[in-house]
Amino acid sequence: MNDRPVHIIDATLREGMQAANGAFTTEQSVEVARCLIACGVDMVECGHPAIGHHEQLRVAAVVEASGAVPVLAHARANNNDVDAVAKTGADWVGIFLGVNEISLNSRLPGYSRDDVHRKIDESVGYARQLGLRVRFTVEDSSRTDFGLLVETYTRAIKAGADRIGIADTVGVLEPGRAGELVRRLVASGLDAEIEVHLHDDRGLALANALAAIDAGATWISTSVNGLGERAGIVDLGALLANLDHRGTRTCANGQRLRDLSRRVGAYSRSAPDDRRPVVGKNVFRHVSKLHLMAVDRDPASYEWIAPELFGAERVIGGDGLPKAPAEWIVKPPVVSATELRHHRAGPGDRFVLVDERFVAGADQYCIARRIPELDSYGAGHVDGHVHHCDSLFVFLGTQENYQGLEVDVHLGEESFRVQSPASVFIPAGVRHSYQVVAGSGTYLNHVLAGDYNSSLLDPPSFGSRD
């Protein structure tokens, strides 16, 4: 087993941007970067600045927020891309180039080996001239001839690369092959640290990462919830938990991982499922009667690691829906909005149609507010807030065809005057509120969570240790 320190470079803010819905705003990127650093990552990978000016500004903001923790940004093997990285203030550039026939035919048709060598020499050398440190990655490494890999890495190191990256771009490796590839590269005498970037198309990314570590890799590329292209890459939380369990690397601030998972899940609209290792809702839940009796005597009987290490609680029993259909019917009570954070008493009566208090396990929250016509509706009773899940506003007026209600709706940095009938879809992670302006009618709010207050996503707090 490799006894060298294992470092983590988290690519949520680069690889995660390539996932469906994975478009982090600058504000969200800064927040996630600070949370990653609080969780102990050694380097933050953010963006591809050559995409455009907005992307450069996003990466620059992350660089500023990351302080002493280095930031790496992506670049193709050309000087324009490298220039764009340098303008952000990033410490490192991750230059990538595919050199096998598949990569060359799809990206650089007609290029010769001499052309490839020239691109490596020029881009890596130029990056070093600009004061950037360089990670050089052969795209699709796992399907590239080993001799060609060594030749390419050797050339990149000679040009000034500090670290080489192995990319299992389509996730074809198995642990045995992953370990063998790293071992052979270590034995080849390359004078650079080895990083692995492993996709999870076959569900083997974490196992491949552990095998690569055992074989001599010292940097692992991760993302929160494994977010990334297709099936994603190595999950940060799962890797940290496994390294801690192995005694390889202490998970110093595991309590933050669950919040970070929830936050990234909201911003990417790709929440981790309940069975997600380490951060899933059910991973420390015990249901079987035999398990319950054993866990009561000794939690280690059915827990591989202590939930407290990750800010989780042991949960006893299931939370399924009531079996009797009669229990799915709710007689809505009138409850003031003061029971909710960010809310005050509003106009008219608020009926709670459903939440987990009335139908356990429904995972739905819905209220209806009957809004009377008033001379003044005041400054509004709802402050801006964010949910970790999608939600919905519905406005129905008392006039014909549900007309007659006018409201201002605030979504992110924008505001809209809305006339009923209307519905407003609010994606997870988007700050929102509303304010009645005129008329009368009914307001419905539906949130995909059984407990409203628990669904709120507040800005993270950072203590002096962070």
Residue 93 and residue 128 in contact, taking contact as beta carbons nearer than 8 Å: no
Instruction: Tell me the C-alpha to C-alpha distance, in Å, between residue 40 and each of 66, 351, 368.
Output: 12, 45, 44
What SS3 state is found at 43? strand
**What's the CA dihedral at 451, 453, 455, 457 to 10 degrees?**
-170
- Cα(353)–Cα(399) distance, integer angstroms: 23
Residue with tokens 């060359």: 104
What SS3 state is found at 456? strand
Segments in 280-400 forming alpha helices (H):
289-297
- Beta strands 193-198 and 219-222 are parallel
What is the torsional sign of CA 116, 121, 125, 126?
Answer: negative
**What's the CA dihedral at 223, 229, 231, 236 to 10 degrees?**
0
Q: Taking each helix axis from N to C terminus, what angle separates 255-267 and 26-38, rounded to the nearest 10 degrees?
A: 160
State yes or no: is 291 an active-site residue. Answer: yes
What SS3 state is found at 166? strand
Residue 369 and residue 405 in contact, taking contact as beta carbons nearer than 8 Å: no
How close are the terminal C-alpha atoms of the chain, in Å?
Answer: 31
Catalytic one among 117, 291, 385, 410?
Answer: 291
Structure token pair of residue 122? 């020029």
Q: Percentage helix, strand, coil, to 5, in the chain?
A: 35, 25, 40
What amino acid positions are annotated as catalytic residues? 291
